[in-house]
Amino acid sequence: MVVIGGGGSGLAAAIAAATSGADVVLLEKNPALGGTTARSIGSITATRTPHQDRLGIIDSPEEHYRDMELFARHVSRPDNDALRRLLTDNVPETFRWLSSLGVEFFGPVEEPPHKKPRMHNVLPNSRAYIFHLERRARRLGVRILTNARARRLLVGAGKVAGVEFDQPDKPGQVVHASRGVVLASGDYAANPDMKRALISDAAARTEPVNPASTGDGQKMAIELGAKIINGDLFGGGVRFAPPAKPSWISRLPPSTWLMRPANFALRLAPLSMVRRFIMGFLTTVMVPSHELFDAGAILVNKDGERFADETAAMIFELAYQPDGVAYILFDGAVAEKISKWPYYISTAPGIAYAYLGDYEKNRPDLVYRAETLDKLAPLMGANPAKLIETVERYNQSNETGPSASSLPARKQRPELRSEPFYALGPVKNYISFTDGGLAINERLEVLDSQGDPIPGLYAAGSVGQGGLLLKGHGHHIGWAFTSGRLAGSYAASRKET
């Protein structure tokens, strides 16, 4: 059996298939395994976990299934109910399986509208998934080829029977797959052509978190008659630039012998210590919250000009600003607000909130402060006169009605007048993932345009999302590992051809 992609879903598929006795080759185009999975926060949402049991939380896949609908109803299209059922029924087993491989989790924590706490976070970071799964795959004899980019699916006797792939020194190699091929090659957040065709021009111009998410699996399957569902859906938004040096938390080794006692200590530690641990992580992930703009902050480009309604859900205009970057600008009154609840800069839902003081301490490189706007402007590389004019215009704009200029009005937000002034940034728009997956059935087989399975072709993770709406935290990772596990065992149980 051949697996294309060495992220979460691909490794899960390879392990499940090898455990069932299949001879597995895994192709990964990057020099190392990991994919978007290793760049994620790493939360996974599941019920009936030992962690829930320990806290006496009575929960079930059925309740999880119903709560997922509360997230999905904000999306104006139907969910794939069969795949949602497949996820919620099987993710408890996936969670136990990951734990049995040595992955440690913290939690569960609340995430409304889930009615029960069921979001768990991997310790110390998402690279732990790859560390433990790669180790298991190698022990089971999975042949892992890195720098191996799958280019084309090969068909023989009406079935997908192999893969053509390139390695830097050896292009045009072929690997035969008598039990079929599992596509686990992630999404197309880094493919401008696919994003332009399926989402928008602004999305096409927006940087991906993972440059390897080029939609190869989707393209290879489309050549065989498959189709993409929900191609226009994606996750992303404004984020702070990552730190020049990775944070201490992202450098922690993921080994179980270290993480198990750390997890135990976290459960018993005073809240202030847990908060310190979480802060190192929160100010690294760094997605500015909407509360920040509701509190009165505005967004200016690097010339010091305002360009969008910063309270909108997605600020597409950022893609068209110089260098695609902006700064979050606010005054002393807003600074006071975002120093304590209920306003904050970023959050890991249900776990902790990061305030201005946390950013000043953990990410001083992102915080600029000056008594006046003309002193602040050069710190962020903006023109002082332009920045002063921007703030004046904003202050004078109508409080409720439409703005006199083409810029969005201030609405109900306060004027920016009290010294000192602050700029946080730079921020950029990022596409974290796209949600357009191939149409599949409940056996994870890829379907053609008539709805019939393409024999020998399976898909898991983002490339096999099949119209499943994965809103809320922890569902993408849950789907990657669950669908990978199932696709691997279904493919392995296929009769060899």
Ligand X SMILES: Cc1cc2nc3c(=O)[nH]c(=O)nc-3n(C[C@H](O)[C@H](O)[C@H](O)COP(=O)(O)OP(=O)(O)OC[C@H]3O[C@@H](n4cnc5c(N)ncnc54)[C@H](O)[C@@H]3O)c2cc1C
Residues forming contacts to ligand X in the complex (CB under 6 A) are: 4-10, 27-30, 34-37, 39-43, 149-150, 184-186, 209-210, 212-213, 216, 432-433, 461-462, 473-477, 480
- Going by C-alpha positions, the residue among 407, 199, 402 that lies closest to residue 317 is 407
Report the candidate in 336, 410, 421, 345 with the shortest Cα–Cα distance to residue 377. Answer: 421
Q: Minimal distance in Å, beta carbon 125 to ligand X?
A: 10
Separation between Cα atoms, residue 317 and residue 336, nearest integer Å: 29
- Of 408 and 478, which CB lies nearer to ligand X in the complex structure? 478
Tokens of 343: 């306003």
Closest contact distance (angstroms) between CB of 59 and ligand X is 18
Rounded least distance, CB 395 to ligand X, Å:
35
Shortest spacing between CB 467 and ligand X, in angstroms:
15
Is the separation of the CB atoms in 376 and 388 below 8 Å?
no
Alpha helix stretches (DSSP H) within 101-169? 127-139
User: Which positions ≥6 away from 124 have C-beta within 8 Å?
Assistant: 249, 250, 252, 253, 254, 259, 262
Strand partners of residue 299: 328
Q: Which is nearer to ligand X, 157 or 244 (CB)?
A: 244
- Kindly tell me which of 198 and 334 has the beta carbon lying closer to ligand X: 198
Q: Could you give the 3-state DSSP secondary structure of residue 298?
A: strand
Instruction: State the nearest-atom distance from the C-beta of 424 to ligand X, in Å.
Output: 19
State the minimum distance, in angstroms, from the CB of residue 206 to ligand X.
13
Ranked by CB distance to ligand X, the top (closest) residue is: 7
CB 335 within 8 A of CB 416: no
Q: How far apart are CA 91 and CA 61, in angstroms?
A: 8
Task: State how beta strands 170-176 and 159-167 pair.
Answer: antiparallel
Closest CA to 126 of 486, 488, 473: 473
Cβ 351 to ligand X shortest distance, Å: 11
User: How far is the C-alpha of 79 from the C-alpha of 201, rounded, in Å?
Assistant: 26
Q: Which residue has the tokens 């065992």?
A: 489
| Between 290 and 393, CB nearer to ligand X | 290
Question: Is the CB of 117 or the CB of 186 nearer to ligand X?
Answer: 186
CA 217, 461, 99 angle in degrees (round to 5)? 140
What is the closest distance, in whole angstroms, from the C-beta atom of residue 370 to ligand X in the complex?
32
Q: Strand, helix or coil at 233?
A: coil
Query: In the complex with ligand X, which residue's Cβ is closer, 229 or 416?
Result: 229
**What stretches of 231-324 adopt beta strand conformation (E)?**
234-240, 298-301
Q: Nearer to ligand X by C-beta: 153 or 297?
A: 153
Closer Cβ to ligand X, 368 or 430, answer by number: 430
Min. distance of Cβ 45 from ligand X in angstroms? 7
In the bound state with ligand X, the residue whose beta carbon lies nearer, of 159 and 473, is 473
Question: Of 334 and 460, which CB lies nearer to ligand X in the complex structure?
Answer: 460
Tell me which residue of 95, 102, 85 sits closest to 120, measured CA to CA: 95
Task: State the nearest-atom distance from the C-beta of 263 to ligand X, in Å.
Answer: 17
Q: Is the peptide bond before 420 cis (omega within 30 degrees of 0)?
A: yes
